[in-house]
């Protein structure tokens, strides 16, 4: 007998009749483009021109450090490596770590030069050490960008120095930062360091929000004439992490102020919680023609959602699966869907899977189940 298409619905969280207060409109932001997201879920809380191609200036160096972190993880380079400084790196204009041509500098120091001091010379040195040339390194940057879902970015150098084709978007940059934080938490900690001294020259981290807001632990500033003043920032409050990208502001104070406005609004009016864990049974149901008579259903990964603050009790979750399930069933096999709704809007939908395998039973057990299903079809 074939599995029927009818669905069984089970409500896990009952909705209350009183809804949460409406969320006020996001603040107006003085920038060419911006995006605010929750880092855990990727939910976009507010955006303007999020997909517009814009020059990233030194925000580029986030990808430079990301590529280096990947190479370290894969064992191809090491933080203790001594990196030779080329004439090209030494002569690179703009912000500097003040490395000298003909010397060697540890990769650890160079990465702090890239991240904290925004040193263009350090960025070129890292690029040349990893890929042989800055041009080849830019190719690696673009490959990694594609791999993590940066769909509109084109990197042409490791520094962010002006190039007409060196462009990205605010949305792509939050995608990069989410990957950086989740894949390389130890590497990301460098972004919170407030100063770095190399060659007797101490320079402060150019992200002045690290002093202004104790919940901010990164990420990076950038500025050129074409790009304007840019700031990617991340803050963690009560276990919730937000990431913002502000591009094309008029000055340093504006990019900080507008970023703070986004954080204040986002943390005040949204919350993120884990609703369901993967290692628990969400529902037990009858299974036919199997060595077992009961099948446990669950989800493969934890379900984390971002939703309006104060509306947790209004969330309505439902499980849909066929009313008749037949063996054999493999562990992890998709059986149905778990959906979470708020005020009639679907917030999430994830596969409902079998938590264990069920083998097909012997002839007599299957015959018994067939008779049971036959009479259940007849009804009363």
Query: Which residues have CB under 8 Å from 97's CB, separation 6+?
Result: 109, 110, 113, 114, 117, 119, 121, 122, 198, 199, 203
What tokens were used for 221? 């500033």
Quick check: do 7-18+275-378 and 33-249 share a fold? no
Strands of the chain, DSSP E: 7-13, 33-38, 44-48, 82-84, 104-106, 195-198, 201-204, 216-224, 228-237, 240-249, 270-276, 283-286, 294-298, 303-308, 315-322, 334-342, 345-354
Low-confidence residues of the chain: pLDDT under 50? 1-19, 380
State residue 36's pLDDT score.
98
Tell me, yes or no, if 61 is annotated catalytic. Answer: yes
Active site residue 118: yes
287 vs 294: CA distance, rounded Å: 5
Task: Please state, as a whole number, how many other Cβ atoms lie within 10 Å of the Cβ of residue 185.
Answer: 9
Q: Which residues pair with 334 in a beta bridge?
A: 353
User: CATH number of the domain at 33-249, out of 3.40.50.620, 3.40.710.10, 3.40.50.720, 3.40.50.2300?
Assistant: 3.40.710.10
Q: Which of 32, 40, 46, 58 is catalytic?
A: 58
Sheet containing 345-354, strands listed edge to edge, beginning at the edge strand earlier in sequence:
7-13, 315-322, 334-342, 345-354, 294-298, 283-286
Please say whether the beta carbons of 95 and 120 come within 8 A.
Answer: yes
Torsional sign, CA 170, 176, 182, 184:
negative
The pLDDT assigned to 95 comes to: 97
Q: Report pLDDT for 279.
A: 83
Residue 340 pairs in a beta bridge with 317, 348
- Alpha-carbon gap, residue 186 to 207, rounded angstroms: 19
Q: Which of 70, 144, 170 is nearest to 155 (CA)?
A: 144
The DSSP bridge partners found for residue 153 are none
Catalytic residue among 32, 40, 46, 61: 61
Dihedrals phi, psi of 43, to nearest 5 degrees: -65, 130
Enumerate the β-bridge partners of residue 349: 339
Cα 370 from chain centroid?
48
SS3 324: coil
Domain 7-18+275-378 in this protein, CATH class: mainly beta
Q: Rounded to the nearest 5 degrees, what angle is found at the Cα of 275, between the Cα atoms of 269 and 276?
A: 165
Q: Are 359 and 291 in contact (CB under 8 A)?
A: yes
| Res 363: pLDDT | 78
Own/partner pairs, 42-48, CB within 8 angstroms, 24+ separation: 42/178, 43/305, 43/306, 44/171, 45/242, 45/265, 45/266, 45/270, 45/306, 46/262, 46/265, 46/266, 47/170, 47/171
- Please, are residues 164 and 80 in contact by the beta-carbon 8 Å criterion? no
Query: Exactly one of 118, 179, 244, 317 is catalytic; which is it?
Result: 118
Domain boundaries, the chain: 7-18+275-378, 33-249
**pLDDT for the residue numbered 291:** 83
């Amino acid at each position: 007998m074939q599995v029927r298409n009818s669905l069984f619905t089970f409500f896990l969280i009952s909705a209350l009749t009183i809804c949460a207060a409406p969320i006020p409109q996001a603040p107006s932001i003085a920038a060419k483009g911006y995006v605010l997201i929750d880092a855990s879920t990727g939910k976009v809380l507010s955006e303007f021109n999020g997909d517009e191609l814009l020059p990233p200036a030194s925000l580029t160096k986030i990808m430079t450090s990301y590529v280096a972190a990947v190479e370290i993880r894969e064992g191809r380079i090491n933080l203790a490596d001594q990196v030779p400084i080329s004439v090209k790196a030494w002569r690179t204009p703009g912000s500097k770590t003040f490395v000298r041509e003909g010397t060697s500098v540890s990769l650890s120091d160079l990465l702090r030069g890239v991240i904290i001091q925004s040193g263009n010379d350090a960025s070129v040195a890292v690029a040349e050490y990893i890929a042989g040339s800055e041009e080849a390194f830019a190719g690696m940057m673009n490959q990694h960008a594609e791999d993590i879902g940066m769909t509109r970015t084109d990197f042409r150098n490791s520094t962010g120095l002006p190039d007409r084709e060196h462009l990205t978007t605010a949305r792509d940059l939050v995608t990069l930062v989410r990957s950086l934080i989740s894949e390389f938490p130890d590497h990301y900690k460098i972004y919170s360091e407030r100063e770095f001294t190399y060659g007797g020259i101490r320079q402060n981290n150019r992200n002045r929000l690290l002093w202004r807001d104790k919940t901010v632990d990164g990420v990076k500033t950038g500025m050129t004439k074409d790009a304007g003043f840019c700031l990617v920032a991340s803050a963690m409050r009560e276990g919730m992490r937000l990431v913002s990208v502000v591009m094309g502001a008029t000055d340093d104070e504006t990019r900080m102020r507008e970023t703070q406005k986004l954080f204040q609004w986002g943390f005040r009016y949204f919350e993120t919680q884990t609703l369901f864990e993967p290692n628990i049974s969400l529902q037990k149901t009858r299974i036919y023609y199997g060595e077992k008579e009961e099948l446990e259903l669950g989800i493969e990964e934890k379900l984390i959602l971002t939703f309006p603050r104060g509306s947790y009790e209004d969330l309505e979750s439902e499980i849909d699966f066929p009313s008749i399930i037949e063996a054999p069933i493999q562990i992890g096999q998709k059986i149905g869907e778990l959906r979470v709704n708020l005020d009639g809007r679907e917030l999430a939908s994830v596969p409902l899977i079998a938590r264990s395998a069920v083998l097909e039973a012997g002839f007599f057990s299957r015959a018994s189940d067939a008779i049971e299903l036959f009479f259940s079809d007849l009804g009363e």
